[in-house]
Homo-oligomer: A and B are copies of this chain.
Amino acid sequence: VIQVDRRYRFSASHRLHVAALDEAQNDALFGKCNNPFGHGHNYEIEVSVAGPIDVRTGRAVDVNRLDSLVESAVVSRYDHRYLNEELPEFEHTVPTTENLGVQIRQRLQDGWDEAFPEGQPRLERIRIFETDRNIFEIAAYE
């Protein structure tokens, strides 16, 4: 069994704000990330999959299929978007990178069986680099 990590990028903006809290509470929680007009990042995501090496092809994952899935389910959905205003999943949920990770995991899992009908490889985890010093990692199955 080998794990393959592939990295993808998109640029987006978000605002950290919880409607149920007042201004002072939002400011205490999120500081300048609560700025009313949002701010942005170059997000980098790393998708890790694992599986046995196919003895015929020498590969553990069909990378074309993985790239297609990540592109259609994640990158094209979030690239160049203002997460708060344009994505229904963040209409009532604050688009922290934690919550973005949960969404990305769900979208990959939803498309997995169609992308990999033979059941291989397995999605292992997702990492999101909000900046190169601030990284979020979420396991595919807890």
Q: Name the B residues within 8 Å of A139 (CB-CB).
A: 1
- Number of contacting residues on A, CB 8 A? 60
**Do the beta carbons of B135 and A5 come within 8 Å of each other?**
yes
Task: Select the residue from A38, A56, A85, A138 with max chain B CB neighbours within 10 A.
Answer: A38
Residue of B with least CB distance to A132: B7
Contact yes or no, A12 B40, CB < 8 A: yes
When A56-B20, A94-B57, A131-B42 are in contact, do A82 and B4 touch as well, CB less than 8 Å?
A: no
Given contacts A58-B16, A58-B94, contact A3 B37 (CB under 8 A): no
Task: Provide a sorted-by-A list of 19 A–B residue pairs whose CB atoms are within 8 angstroms.
Answer: A4-B136, A5-B135, A6-B134, A7-B132, A8-B133, A11-B40, A13-B39, A18-B56, A18-B58, A20-B56, A33-B80, A35-B81, A37-B85, A38-B82, A39-B80, A39-B81, A39-B82, A53-B99, A59-B96
